[in-house]
Structure 1
């Protein structure tokens, strides 16, 4: 029997690990780190109960879930707390969440955990004040913007060189810095390149992506914004619905951030109807780039779904603006036009490539490059060899 090693979910063989684009060695350390972190929390049950009691009720009425009842997602550990007997104005079950320090790069970039908590709490406050009709969980308290992809890079010890206190005003500078994060991944992730040919292809794609940036950003009218709040981790698992498919809650707001409209106003990736995987590189986006013919066949129904989504989006937008002034309605109605424009110009794919480091090459090959040239496969090999020297000087 072939030897396997444990991951957080399932096991992996050496052969499968060699074919991965992610740093598998880093992922192999997660099971032990999770056990250590769980033990750390379990030994502080009394302290956790005391903290909860300050926001809710006496510790005598609280029961923290046993270790076997704890759950975790990709970035948080959740401890259920039962309240018995039920108290007025309170649910009989609440949850306290702790960011997983080994998943957000805390060891090598101290402050990432605090940043994640602050951003999530600020998102709750902003939504409650500005979008009270958006159903979100009740936030009782918190302990103390990057995006999910930036934290994932830093968690693999890959420097992003984006200071935590930096605020962007030009759109193109922000997008250029995201591309620079991809460059850092190429330099620092051990298994990011599988062969000389693969390296040429990836670096040539990155170089071309940088050259094509002006085609996807309207420098005349949007160079300095506008910017919009984006729920970058909004997928099916984070949307609660009732039996009639009405949305009742949106959860997991920890990766919300303000982004240029080129990235914030796009149809959801899961309209592709692909199965979700672990992390943004496997959320169905790169699966549309598994082959030229398959990509074209897959994109046709996606285009239809995007059109349907945009129609519904437009109806809801007009409904929300019904009682507002004509001037404000005219200004806000451009949200739908921006969404449609991002899809038609290919800005959607450019944004997805920036957000999915391991999928950038596939997205570039099957959704961006064909918009500019009909180069045959053999010519693409030559193209990569000519372009790759311009990625950067060696030495």
Structure 2
């Protein structure tokens, strides 16, 4: 496997490009000018990337131990299990997934395994070879350094989702979970791998718990694993691998065929679903069935399932989303404690708004200038003021029922065949019980970002609305065929499809979308929510003064907050410049908090790129200070 010298050479390769680019993610390079203009926290992402690389190399050095660990959970001879080549590893937002190759015999494993001097498996392996996935959470990407215990929370919730779906949604094809280990050292394996006596005892305990109406025991039983077999202390999961018989991930299938130009191979833009009506309906039918299967059983509160040490699950964890986890990893304050659940939608929405507000205060690059900070503060105050139009009051379903919601149902999580029939679903992270009228139509129907599809002035919005209407039609058809009696009773005789249509018509869809997005809150609110209350909004050239008034309602120290956010951005640019070995720039700008005037004139928000102070005076800003 790669040693530290090789790792150092790889890091140097990123940093010595002709354009002086730095790496800040897998296949992600950025130059100085783009980094200085980026809304992302480039220094943080760079540090995350470097620490993630170090984690990869540390894992690769423990190949024999991890092969023994996987063999233990599969119940096979360790000599039959081989770790795949580094080139076959896959990294997601939070985990690294390592294909583990399982040979029929030790002799077959030895014959196929011709190690390189570094000990790597050759990347060429038979297509029909059995594989399982060893998935490891990456501490640098899971907020573990910021909030210890974050990985444990993440793994408990995902494991509980597997358990719940195995029992309640057998019609949804998900990977088999062979076993897992938590960061604190507890290991669990599926009961099918146990001796007959232990399986029989578990069956008796499950029957007795059911008879007594106690929490039902899962099929995962605690086992002992020698410490030398688990050298990675950040936890692990061993999952079934979806092979070629399942087709491909939707995001890959939709890109059709690879393009080769000048000897370089790359994927084209994905096919628009509206251009493939037959395939689109097949896809929508499969996704609709999954949503309906999850929603079929109403839940008593808003929260996520948690896997407990005794093998049971309970709806006792906070409703954490992938976006929330990403922001907490970037040091956003945690405003929901791990054991917080909600029986009232108002309280949940209020805490979502608090999280967005605290994230804004903490992020070093939240606002690029004083007008930007004023704008965002005004939007947050506005959303607080209009919340009662979307939740609470006399609105239905404010106290439930609540239904399971895939908060991270991105296109790559669905396996489809060549006709786009859904054949499987994996990556069950970030599922929680949510208000019935939260957005359930996938945001990826047109492959555009939420800030683009939320703007009625764009073609992306029109395309998304057309695709959404097609999805709603298929969803209603599938709902009529599904067993949703319990849910409809809980909803007072209303169908989930009707709730979804009402959410879209009332713009509750967009209200929730603004609160759940990492960076899209201001875009969604200004495009979809503001025009409901400010009819002439689209005709205004600049509303800086209006935002300034709203910003004052967001905080009694609004001016101080604006100064702080400009200073935060200044320091952020110093750190970005330092990554490239550059001296920070110096420039002049002025801003009046009351009027939005810049250098004596009015300019629309987002057309102005100069930093300002909060006095209305021209200010020479040295980013070195």
TM > 0.5 between the two? yes
- RMSD in angstroms over aligned alpha carbons? 2.4
Do the aligned residues in 1 keep the contact of 2:378 with 2:550 (CA within 8 Å)? Answer: yes
Query: Which residue in 2 is equivalent to 1:293?
Result: 457
Q: Does residue 22 of structure 1 match 2:197?
A: no
**Partners of 1:183 and 1:330 in 2: CA distance:** 32
Structure 2 vs 1, CA of residues 360 and 154 (structure 1 numbering), >3 Å: closer, same or farther? same
Tell me the secondary structure at the aligned position of residue 141 of structure 1.
Answer: strand
Do the aligned residues in 1 keep the contact of 2:173 with 2:424 (CA within 8 Å)? Answer: yes
Question: Quick one: which of 474, 486, 497 aligns to 1:336?
Answer: 497
Larger Rg: 2
Question: Quick one: which of 35, 38, 41 aligns to 2:56?
Answer: 38
TM-score normalised according to structure 1 size: 0.89
- 1:40-79 to 2 correspondence within 5 Å? 40-56=58-74, 57-79=76-98
Q: Does residue 119 of structure 1 match 2:157?
A: yes
Do the aligned residues in 2 keep the contact of 1:317 with 1:333 (CA within 8 Å)? Answer: no
Unaligned runs of 5+ in 2: 1-17, 107-127, 183-317, 561-625
1:331 Cα deviation after fit = 5.5
Choose between structure 1 and 2: higher helix proportion: 1
Deviation string for 1:130-163 (max 9, x for gaps)? 1111111111112234111211111011112210
Query: Which residue in 2 is equivalent to 1:319?
Result: 481
Query: Which residue in 2 is equivalent to 1:380?
Result: 543
Query: Which residue in 2 is equivalent to 1:5?
Result: 22
Do the aligned residues in 2 keep the contact of 1:231 with 1:256 (CA within 8 Å)? Answer: yes
Query: Which residue in 2 is equivalent to 1:274?
Result: 447
Do the aligned residues in 1 keep the contact of 2:67 with 2:83 (CA within 8 Å)? Answer: yes
The answer to which of 217-226 and 240-249 deviates more is 217-226
Query: Which residue in 2 is equivalent to 1:245?
Result: 420
- 1:144-293 to 2 correspondence within 5 Å? 144=182, 145=318, 146-220=320-394, 221-263=396-438, 265-271=439-445, 273-275=446-448, 284-288=449-453, 293=457
**Partners of 2:491 and 2:105 in 1: CA distance:** 48
Deviation string for 1:208-264 (max 9, x for gaps)? 01111111115433222221111111121111011232111111111112222232x
Tell me the secondary structure at the aligned position of residue 7 of structure 1.
Answer: strand
Do the aligned residues in 1 keep the contact of 2:83 with 2:100 (CA within 8 Å)? Answer: yes
**Partners of 2:488 and 2:499 in 1: CA distance:** 18
**Partners of 1:61 and 1:72 in 2: CA distance:** 25
**Partners of 1:228 and 1:84 in 2: CA distance:** 42
Query: Which residue in 1 is equivalent to 2:141?
Result: 103
**Partners of 2:171 and 2:358 in 1: CA distance:** 41
How many residues end up aligned between the 2 structures?
Answer: 379
Q: Does residue 390 of structure 1 match 2:564?
A: no
1:101 Cα deviation after fit = 1.3
Unaligned runs of 5+ in 1: 276-283
Do the aligned residues in 1 keep the contact of 2:515 with 2:521 (CA within 8 Å)? Answer: yes
1:298 Cα deviation after fit = 3.0
1:15 Cα deviation after fit = 2.1
**Partners of 1:193 and 1:79 in 2: CA distance:** 38
Do the aligned residues in 2 keep the contact of 1:285 with 1:359 (CA within 8 Å)? Answer: yes
Structure 2 vs 1, CA of residues 319 and 177 (structure 1 numbering), >3 Å: closer, same or farther? same
